[in-house]
Structure 1
Amino acid sequence: MEDPADFDLDHISLFEEGSTSIPTNDNIMDILDSSVPAVGMSFDSAEDVRTFYREYGIKMGFGTRIQSSKKGKDNEIRYFMLVCSREGKYVFPLPSELMTLPTQTNECQARISVAKKDSKWYIMSVIYEHSHDLSPTKSRLFCGNRKISLSAKRTLDLNDDARVRVNKSFRSLVGAAGGYENLSFVECDVRNFLSQHRRALGKDGDGQTLLSHFSRMRELNRDFFFEIDIDDENHIRNVLWADARSRTACEHFGDIVSFDTTYLTNKYDMPFAPFVGVNHHGQSILLGCGLLSSEDTDTFIWLFKCWLRCMSYKAPFGIATDQCRAMKNVVAVVFPETRHKWCLWHIMKKIPEKLAANQDYKNMKHQMKVVVYESMTLVEFECNWEKFITSFGLTHNEWLTTIYEEL
């Protein structure tokens, strides 16, 4: 970080997306403490700015987050704003008399705005005042400030390998630090770290074993396909593979595909995601398999694109999945011409959860199954569904209405 006391900020512009005012030398404060943000401070990277303001927030007693950012013509971020975590106004959906906790946002205006000029990042404006009390002794535990040190991660990793329970590992770290007040994380962070770490297939040499196995399969049959997604630490995040039989089957029976992630492995708790079709005998056939580190949009996009490439870019006419919104968005992106339907098994599984509160639940459940499983044509289903909805007074049931409209 450089001292901007003598720096001429008149030459810094906020580009075409910038603010309505540009700071000048007249509003540059004398910096007595380099840990306090001031107009004109420069940094080598955006991450340096975020780290600096986060540490300042910990010292003063507030949390921080990014409130907005803007890109330049090169599609790279050129400007962003860091604000107090209590910025904004949140309207709680419940009436005040039913609220157990008050809202945590206070329309706080404390913030800094940062812009990039050439290869440097400069603080363009600063607001110091907060609209709430600060908590320097607790700020390390605010959501954006919690962080597990490298030494603590190493200890947790060793304890996990030795099958030490998470709560005992956390208490050992508390004892080594001299108390809870000296830790910058809580037990929930430890559990999240270990959960993510267990999913890394690079652990215990399993990643290398998997790669070696796939390589041997490729040597035995050149049509064996596999793709591996690796993170920044060279841990395997996601895997897709399909043998020659699956790729051939997809050419003949890949028109309609079912994709499900409800299967889990025991050791890593990673979703096992098979692509399944149906052959001319009505039998299920495997068209590809995946192991996923998470079930978010980016992961599904990676998996679906790899599978599409594996199947010679032959997209299915229809695909059935569970009611995952992330998956729905991905299907629209990767398979824009494919008809997306929800899996019937997942829908029927939710009947007890959605309809059990009704007095005539047992009869209602039976009648719904009759409508779904015994309607042979579209016209017959429409007629039976209308009778079912009307007879049980379910016209305004949000779940049934949503399902009908979506399908």
Structure 2
Amino acid sequence: MLSTISTSQTNQCLAGITIACKDDKWFVRTVALDHSHELCPQTSNLIRVNRKLNMLAKHTLEVNDDAGVRINKSFMSMVGEAGGYENMQFMEQDARNFIGQHRRSLCKKGDGQALLRHFSKMRDLNNDLFYDIEMDEGNRIISVFWADARSRAACEEFGDVVSFDTTYLTNKYDMPFIPFVGVNHLGQSILLRCGLLSSEDTSSFVWLFICWL
């Protein structure tokens, strides 16, 4: 069994090693040390394998997030304190990933179960309530979608044109509240569906629109 050779996506650099397995033993097959580009040792701290968030960085991000400071502003403040990007041990995306995990971990403290109990109770009162909840591998809530009987009926009548907005941040988890809004025969805005997303990435929106359909 041989490993596949992966080139750099930006400059087709073939520098690297390949390994092979024979008789349950791994060995180095080829070594290529020549790069097709200039090296920048001063930025090696931002290579994925070298990036890390220390305890101080994690604490700062958590405190700022709980205080409502946006991640990009929090990160830029830390860059300034470090004296520039070249002195950082992580990137903004690493900070976003950490805060995403931090927000989802809050659901372990009982709020997630409370939400499930609420939906179950509402379903008992009206079987036309629809809801769906996406969980991660740690059984923490990632995304929520729901529509009550009134909204579903309104969607049947006025769902030809629908808009949705992800700019509402009205909860302590900083999960955007996403209303799906239509217009009735009187020109009034009406609520058709609702959602909460912990991350505004492609997979989250795909999940949301599948629920809508």
TM-score (norm. length: structure 1): 0.39
Q: 2:33 aligns with which of 117, 125, 128?
A: 128
CA displacement, residues 39-75 of structure 1 (integer Å, 9 cap, x when unaligned): x6xxxxxxxxxxxxxxxxxxxxxxxxxxxxxxxxxxx
Give 1:121 shift. 9.2
Conserved? CA contact 1:250–1:287, under 8 Å: yes
Change in 2 beyond 3 A, CA 1:127/1:262: same
Q: Structure 1 residues 222, 114: CA separation in 2 closer, same or farther (over 3 Å shift)? A: farther
Equivalent pair of 2:46/2:91 in contact (CA under 8 Å): no
- How far apart in 2 are the matches of 1:88 and 1:187? 19
Would the aligned equivalents of 1:82 and 1:113 in 2 still touch at CA under 8 Å? no
Describe the shift of the 1:196–1:267 C-alpha distance in structure 2 as closer, same or farther (beyond 3 A): same
Flag the 1:211–1:146 CA change in 2: closer, same or farther, 3 A: farther
Contact 2:135 2:142 in 1 (8 A): yes
The structure with more radius of gyration: 1
Residue 255 (structure 1) aligns with? 160
| Aligned pair partner of 2:49 in 145, 170, 175 | 145
Report the Cα distance in structure 1 between the residues aligned to 2:122 and 2:114, rounded to whole angstroms: 12
Q: Which position in structure 2 is the counterpart of 1:219?
A: 124
> Counterpart in 2 of 1:52?
none
Runs of 4+ displaced beyond 4 Å: 113-117, 119-125, 163-167, 187-190
SS of residue paired to 2:145: strand
Tell me by how many angstroms 1:293 deviates: 2.0
Post-superposition Cα deviations, 1:341-371, rounded to whole Å, max 9, x if no partner, equal xxxxxxxxxxxxxxxxxxxxxxxxxxxxxxx
**2:191 match: secondary structure:** strand
3-state DSSP of counterpart to 1:212: helix
Structure 2 match to 1:238: 143
Q: 1:225, CA displacement in angstroms? A: 0.9
**Cα offset for 1:305?**
0.9
RMSD: 4.1
Q: 2:114 aligns with which of 209, 213, 217?
A: 209
Q: Contact 1:225/1:241 (CA < 8 Å) preserved in 2?
A: yes
Corresponding residue for 1:298? 203
Residue-by-residue CA offset, 1:232-265 (whole Å, 9 max, x unaligned): 2322111100111111111222222122222222
- Within the alignment, does 1:156 sit opposite 2:59 as a pair? yes
Deviation at 1:193, TM superposition (A): 4.2
The DSSP-based 3-state class of the residue aligned with 2:199 is coil
Give SS of 1:199's match: helix
Q: Are the aligned partners of 2:167 and 2:177 in contact in 1 as well (CA < 8 Å)? A: yes
Verify: 1:197 aligned to 2:121, yes or no.
no
Q: Which residue in the other structure is 1:81 paired with?
A: 5
Q: In structure 1, the residue corresponding to 2:162 is in which secondary structure?
A: strand
**Structure with more relative contact order (C-alpha pairs < 8 Å, separation 6 or more):** 2
- Decide whether the 8 Å contact of 2:61 with 2:99 is kept in 1: no
1:188 Cα deviation (Å)?
A: 4.3
Amino acid at match of 1:81: I
SS state at 2:49 partner: coil
CA offset at residue 146 of structure 1?
A: 3.8
Aligned pair count reads: 196
Sequence identity percentage: 47
Distance 2:59 2:91 in 1: 11
Which of 53, 64, 89 is the matching residue for 1:185?
89
What is the one-letter code of the residue matched to 1:202? C
